[in-house]
Amino acid sequence: MLTALEIKKQEFSRAMRGYDITEVRTFLETVASQIEKLTAQVTAQTTELDKLNSGMESYRRLESNMKDALVNSQESVREARDAARKEAELTRREAELNAEKILSAARREEEDIRREIEALQNRRDSFVRKISSLLRSELELLDLLEKEEKHTQ
């Protein structure tokens, strides 16, 4: 690519009926000036494009980081949910075991109470029999005494 300086320094050989040197120099100066402006614009636009690309790269990294953070947070939520399910299952199993222990203890206590009731009923029945027997014997004794008293009179 030609630079503005190369255009300005360009020399042409002289020919007989050639172009007016002043016009050619003026034209070359104009072309060189425009090339300098265009080169400056291209340089400025290239710099701006580099800045924009650099900014885009920052945004791409930010986007990538945000995606990673989202994936990590989703994974954390999934892990927390799984942990909560496992804990709930463990709590449920512990509750079932405790309930079974309580039921077993209640059944044993119920059986103990039934045996105690049966023993008390047997004692009551025995006591009733003894009192009945005692009363009968006392009644018989009274009958005998009455009969004796009637005979003795």
Rounded-to-integer distance, Cα 89 and Cα 95, Å: 10
Reported pTM: 0.44
CB-facing half-sphere around the CA of 94: CA atoms within 13 A: 6
In this prediction, residue 118 carries a pLDDT of 97
Q: What is the pLDDT of residues 130-149, one digit of tens each?
A: 999 999 999 999 999 888 88
- Tokens standing for 137? 């014997």
Q: What is the pLDDT of residues 14-63, one digit of tens each?
A: 777 777 788 888 888 888 889 889 989 999 999 999 999 998 999 999 99
Q: What is the pLDDT of residues 101-125, one digit of tens each?
A: 999 999 999 999 999 999 999 999 9
**Closest alpha carbon to 37 in 4, 1, 84, 70:** 4
Rounded-to-integer distance, Cα 89 and Cα 83, Å: 10
* Domain residue ranges of the chain, discontinuous segments joined by +: 18-152
Given a contact cutoff of 8 angstroms between Cβ atoms, the answer to whether 50 and 22 are in contact is: no
